[in-house]
Amino acid sequence: MFVRDYMTRHPILVEPDASIVEVQGMMSENNIRHVPVVESGKRLAGLVTRQNLRISPMELASLNVWEITRRLSSLRVRDVMVRARDVITTTPDTPIEEAARVMVQRRIGCLPVVEDGIVMGIITEIDLLAQLTALLGAQVPGWRATVRVPDRAGEFAKITAAVASRGWGIDAAGSLPAPRQPGYWDVVIKISAATRDELISVLQQIEGQEILDVRATGP
């Protein structure tokens, strides 16, 4: 689970002297929000996001319609981009949760993936959310069960042992500290081999755990 496997390889790139109008059109046409700016040899020079392309309302108010056109047509990517030294980047070998942590902490939507100064790809919040859906099994149909377990060793093993004893496979699993209830964890598992009643009867037999929810999910 490293960035190299989940990033978008060969992202759309622009050069510093590309026109803003063109980049704006290209971003909306391809439905992308971030474009790394590169110099020759794909060296990172900066980053353009949709925010960079916005003209502030105050500035807008001071211009008439002709001035806006002229101003926009003369603007180049280099004038509006976030410069390379201010762009937060990651590397292909970073674990994805580490990349996600950086994005949460800095409140940013993407990280250009850079190796030896060369842009290898880009990883965005969408890429990470896609992996979250895969992690919790949203891409396969089946039963999604949430179980609240005490925070001590061996509780997760009880679940897997119970499921394995019936010969079912776990399609996806994840666990988080229970919200608003310290000392407990919420475990989510996804199972497709069993019926709903079979699954509940197996999970009910585990002592000290509480079934919070069982529902069908998937496409």
Chain residues that interact with other proteins, rule: CB under 8 A: 5-6, 8-10, 12-13, 15, 22, 26, 29-32, 40-42, 116, 118, 120, 126-127, 130-131, 134, 139
Residue 33 Cβ vs other proteins, minimum distance, rounded to whole Å: 12
Q: Which of 23, 13, 3 is nearest to 118 (CA)?
A: 13
Residue 216 Cβ vs other proteins, minimum distance, rounded to whole Å: 19
3-state secondary structure of 101: helix
Residue 16 Cβ vs other proteins, minimum distance, rounded to whole Å: 11
- Give yes or no for a contact between 180 and 154, defined as CB atoms under 8 angstroms apart: no
Looking at the Cβ atoms of 60 and 129, the one nearer to other proteins is 129
Give, as one character, the DSSP assignment of residue 39: E
Looking at the Cβ atoms of 3 and 163, the one nearer to other proteins is 3
Instruction: State the DSSP H helix or E strand holding residue 177, giving kind and residue range, or none if neither.
Output: strand 172-177
Q: Rounded to 10 degrees, what is the CA torsion of 15, 20, 21, 24?
A: 80
Residue 83 Cβ vs other proteins, minimum distance, rounded to whole Å: 20
Dist. CA 187–CA 112, nearest whole Å? 33
Looking at the Cβ atoms of 6 and 185, the one nearer to other proteins is 6
Looking at the Cβ atoms of 42 and 148, the one nearer to other proteins is 42
